[in-house]
Amino acid sequence: MTDAPALPIAPGTLAGKVALVTGSSRGIGADTVRYLAQAGADVVINYRNKAPRAEKLAAEVREFGVRALVVGADLTEPATVDAMFTAVPEELGRLDVLVLNASGGMESGMPEDYALKLNRDAQVGVLTSALPLLREGSRVVFVTSHQAHFIRTTPTMPEYEPVALSKRAGEDALRELIPSLEDKGIGFTVVSGDMIEGTITATLLERANPGAIAHRRESAGKLYNVAEFAAEVARAVVDPVPADHTRLVGDTSGFAAE
């Protein structure tokens, strides 16, 4: 982690809590796990196909004196998701924080409906499977991008539009669950960021549209890096839930609100 607060959450703040971050073997998810562990949380590291990387992260965060459980699960496969949420209470006893970080849709070789299946259907499926474990005072955080959050009012690059539309569909579907979450005393926050330097999505976008990242950086004045944005995701776990359930990170001047 570089160029981000070393401790965005004070040590001990999450002592006794258990946090699960989807898609957390690398990138934003991995740094979010690090920050939550530094704050005292036991963590569940979820990966789809990079077990060695996830195990390496688990060994790293155990040095903070917390427990770390590594669970492989393809979020588009309900059976593996159910198995993950069976393992969590068996190994760690509880679940207090769910960070819905995993997303995709620009990968090659995937079915045409993969983006919608992962970014909408799987997000709802994961939260639904987690709900029996969450209790009053728990927190759910959904990670998205400005390009997706504002897609209904602000066009994005053609290469990213299918992903943006699917992520906004996922956000909308999750927001429909807010009343039932609030009834259980569970907080829900959407964390939306501009393009993030160093992410897989940014790399794929740059490959499809050379110069796209530099153009957006020039327009915004600054783009957050992975560690900086992950710090904002981690803070959303402990900060009060905004009235509109939305935490905007980075420049939004080029996006029109609904």
**Residue 55: its pLDDT value, please?**
98
Helix-then-strand count for the chain, H and E: 11, 7
**Residue 198: its pLDDT value, please?**
64
- Provide the residue ranges of all domains of the chain, joining segments of one domain with +: 18-249
Instruction: Looking at the structure, give the CATH architecture of the domain made up of residues 18-249.
Output: 3-Layer(aba) Sandwich (3.40)
Cβ burial, residue 6 (10 Å; 0-12/13-18/19+): exposed
Secondary structure of the chain: what % helix, strand, coil (to 5)? 45, 15, 40
**Residue 5: its pLDDT value, please?**
61
pTM, to two decimals: 0.92
**Residue 2: its pLDDT value, please?**
47
Each residue of 148-179: pLDDT tens digit?
Answer: 999 999 998 888 899 999 999 999 999 999 99
Residue numbers of the chain with a pLDDT score lower than 70? 1-5, 198-209, 212-213, 215-216, 218, 220-221
CA distance linking residue 26 with residue 110, whole number of Å: 21
CA distance linking residue 180 with residue 171, whole number of Å: 15
**Residue 3: its pLDDT value, please?**
57
**Residue 92: its pLDDT value, please?**
98
Each residue of 121-151: pLDDT tens digit?
Answer: 999 999 999 999 999 999 999 999 999 999 9
